[in-house]
Amino acid sequence: MSKPKVFIAMKGVPEVAINLLRKRFEVEICESIQSTKEEMLKKIPGFFGIFCCPSIMINEEVMKAAGPSLKVIGTMSVGYDHVNLPVMKTNGIRLGYTPDVLTETVAETTVGLLISTTRRFFEANHAVKTGGWKNWTPTWMCGKGIKNSVVGIIGCGNIGTSIAKKLVTFEISQLLYTSRSEKPAVKALGGKLVTVDELVEKSDFIILAIALNEDTKFIINGERLAKMKSHAILVNIGRGGLIDQDELIKALQEKRIGGAGLDVMTPEPLPLDNPLMKMDNVVLLPHIGSASIETRIEMALITANNIIAVLDNKPMPNEVHC
């Protein structure tokens, strides 16, 4: 009797997870670094499961191409805005994801991104490597420190809470946050629950750690960028669609805010001719928030076990219920 089939839609998945799947499935891995739409549509008819990541769109066309055999999608991520949930639900397909496991790694990346942006680390490193470091002056490469600043976190789930815990150790003057309800753990740190508008007006550092959905798309728009302090640093580790990127570019070009640190953007990868690429006050990372070896291995194993659970008709370790 032949095994059911799983399609892994990108290369580089840790072997330990692939080997786990191979015990129960016939596993096929995409031919390119990341599966194209054309390859996906060609490969997946008759497959039981798809192992994917946020940059791979699982839309109605893909699910229809797979046919009635498709029972599970496992995404190696916390976010799942790349999956068409209504179509998935209509077709009785289950979705597994990887929350919690990457909380600390993403929080670490966020703090590093904030520091490197406000203290101009990448700009300074470039100066060292290109001959820009000639003579020392007291104000050369100075940036704003975190101590005594107001930090605002938009979205205080597990990741936002971990970020808050780390940043209060920098002796900030005030911690503001947004959430659907008050978070006792953040309140215990001195955090104050506020509206998004109050947060962007008062914060020196604004961190986006919220999921992308219809309610949060462009939560940072032109109007809110206009309310920010002229030295404010905006950090995004959520999804690119949380920010109206065209408006952000205008605000940065006109020096209406101090800078931006982005681990996510629109589109991904960002074209080399995008204006953000040319700005000294912008730090760009290639969506590596969870990129520690330990975290990625655990994410891959959770994704594999989510898929196996559906084969065994058991609860997933982490299932999205929609």
Q: How many CA atoms lie within 13 A of 6 on its CB side?
A: 29
Kindly report the pTM of this predicted structure: 0.90
The reported pLDDT for the residue numbered 31 is 87
The partner residues of 282 in beta bridges, in order of sequence, read: 260
Helix (H), strand (E) at residue 61: helix 60-66
Query: pLDDT truncated to tens, each residue of the chain (322 aa)?
Result: 689 999 999 999 999 999 999 999 999 999 889 998 899 999 999 999 999 999 899 999 999 999 999 999 999 999 899 999 999 999 999 999 999 999 999 999 999 999 999 999 999 999 999 999 998 899 999 999 999 999 999 999 999 999 999 999 999 999 999 999 999 999 999 999 999 999 999 999 999 999 999 999 999 999 999 999 999 999 999 999 999 999 999 999 999 999 999 999 999 999 999 999 999 999 999 999 999 999 999 999 999 999 999 999 999 999 999 8
The reported pLDDT for the residue numbered 2 is 87
The reported pLDDT for the residue numbered 306 is 98
82 is catalytic: no
Which strands sit side by side in the sheet containing 205-208, from one edge to the other?
A: 191-193, 174-178, 150-154, 205-208, 233-236, 259-262, 282-284
Which fold, 102-284? Rossmann fold (3.40.50)
The reported pLDDT for the residue numbered 46 is 96
Whether residue 165 contacts residue 140, with contact meaning beta carbons closer than 8 Å, is answered with no
Q: Does domain 5-97+293-320 have CATH number 3.30.160.40?
A: no
The reported pLDDT for the residue numbered 27 is 97
Q: Catalytic one among 82, 126, 231, 287?
A: 287
Q: CA–CA separation, 285 vs 299, rounded Å?
A: 20
The partner residues of 260 in beta bridges, in order of sequence, read: 234, 282
Kindly report, as residue ranges, where domains of CATH 3.40.50.720 are found in the chain: 5-97+293-320, 102-284
pLDDT tens per residue, range 236-293: 999 999 999 999 999 999 999 999 999 999 999 999 999 999 999 999 999 999 999 9
The reported pLDDT for the residue numbered 136 is 86
Q: Give the CA radius of gyration of the chain.
A: 21
